[in-house]
Amino acid sequence: RHFRSSDRPSSYARDVAAVANTQVDWKETPEAHIFKANLPGLSKDEVKVQIEEGRVLQISGERRKEDATQGEKWHRVERVHGSFLRSFRLPENVKVEE
């Protein structure tokens, strides 16, 4: 099948897909709330975790597009790139300072 440029996802659609594809598990134990996020290809320094508005946990970052260098040619690019942000409203019993 041949694709027209209008068939390709827009940068907005890619950004939405990047957010939607950032999978997160959230578990509460007697001692803590545990979040596990699938962030392949990102280092710890490329992910930002912060508390906003008192009880909203935000996990954000950016998956950058890998550029081909001279002599290289991409045949397929399926991994989503773009910014992502996931927010979770924590329960009132959470001690955010801990």
In the predicted model, what is the mean pLDDT of residues 78-97? 85
Q: How far is CA 48 from CA 30, 36, 60, 64, 82, in A?
A: 25, 14, 5, 15, 15
Mapped onto helix, strand or coil, the DSSP state of residue 12 is helix
Q: What integer best gives the mean pLDDT of the chain?
A: 80
Instruction: Decide: helix, strand or coil at residue 24.
Output: strand
- Interatomic CA distance for residues 97 and 78, integer angstroms: 39
Model pLDDT, residue 72? 86
Model confidence at 81, pLDDT cuts 50, 70, 90, reads confident
Structure pTM? Answer: 0.67
pLDDT score for 73 = 84
Structure tokens at 65: 């597009």
Instruction: Determine the Cα–Cα distance for residues 10 and 16; give it in Å rounded to an integer.
Output: 10
User: pLDDT for 18-52, tens place per residue?
Assistant: 555 678 999 999 999 999 998 887 888 889 999 99
Residue 53 and residue 77 in contact, taking contact as beta carbons nearer than 8 Å: no
Does residue 76 have a pLDDT over 90? no
Residue 58's pLDDT is: 94
Helices (H), ranges, the chain: 11-20
H or E element, residue 17 = helix 11-20
92, pLDDT greater than 60 = yes
